[in-house]
Amino acid sequence: MRITTWNVNGLRAVLGKGMLDSIQPLNADVLCLQEIKARPEQLDKNHLEAIAAAYPSLAWNPAQRPGYSGTATWAKTAPDSITHGLGAPEYDDEGRVIVHRYGDIHLYNIYFPNGGRSLERVPYKLDFYAYLLEQCDQLHAQGKQIIICGDFNTSHQEIDLANPKSNVKNTGFMPEERAWIDRYLEHGFVDAFRALYPEKVEYTWWTFITNARARNVGWRLDYFLVSPSLMPRVEDVIHHNEVMGSDHCPVTLVLKD
C-alpha cells in the first residue's frame, strides 16, 4: 500500500500545471492533499472526471473561508469510514483534517496551522497539536493503529532545515513548536522517515523566493508519524523532490500489504 501526502498550495493551480500527470508515476493508493484552497465544484469538470476515474473514493474538507486551507483525500479503495475534522468547531472551520479508517488503522490527513509571520497564531497551533494528541492517545489506548500524515508546519530537528540557527525565533522552528513533535514521539508515535534514515538530509518545502528549491535551501515539514506496531510494515518513505507544481513536494509511505 502506498500513501502519498502533498501540500499542493492551491489545487486549481497545481491541476493547471499538470498535477494529474506528475502524480501518476507515484502510484499512490491513497493521496492526501493539504491547502487545497478550493471546493470541488470550483474545479474544472474534466479535471474532476479524471480524478474520479483514478480515485473512485473522494473526500473533501474545504475551509469555510473561501480560497483558504482545506484538505482532500483521494483513495482507490473506499475506507470503512470517513470523518471530517476533529469534532471541535474552533479547528474544524478551517477544513484541516480528514480521517479514513481502514480496519483498525486510522489515517489522518492533516494540514497543521501555521504560526503566522508575526507569531499571532502560534498559541492556536499549539492548542491544535494538543487537541489532536489527546484524541490519538484515546485511540492508542483502545488498541487502534494510527498514521498521521500531512504538512506539520514544523521542522523537528536541526537536520530538518537548511538554516536552523537563524530560524529559532521563526514559526516552524521555535522551541515550543518543536517540543510538540517530541511529545508525539513520547506518546508512542514514530517519525517513519527519520527512523529509516537517521542522518539523511532531505527537505519537503522551499520558499518560492531566492531560488531556494534550486539551491536546496529548504525545510522538512511534511511527515508520516505512525504507531510503533505499524513500523514492521514500513518499507520506505520517499521524498519526491522531482515533482514540481507546489512549494512542497509529495512524500510517500510504502507499507507492506
Catalytically annotated residues: 151
Residue 185's alpha-carbon distances to 67, 112, 178, in angstroms, are 33, 17, 11
Of the candidates 208, 199, 257, which has an alpha carbon nearest to the alpha carbon of residue 233? Answer: 257
Of the candidates 71, 64, 61, which has an alpha carbon nearest to the alpha carbon of residue 8? Answer: 71
Q: How many CA atoms, within 13 angstroms, populate the side-chain half-sphere of residue 128?
A: 25
Residue 148's alpha-carbon distances to 137, 144, 246, in angstroms, are 13, 13, 21
Q: Please, which residues bridge with residue 71 across strands?
A: 34, 61
Q: The cell 514500513 sits on which residue?
A: 234
Residue 162 near residue 122, CB atoms below 8 Å: no
CA 42 from chain centre, in angstroms, equals: 22
Of the candidates 102, 111, 135, which has an alpha carbon nearest to the alpha carbon of residue 30? Answer: 102
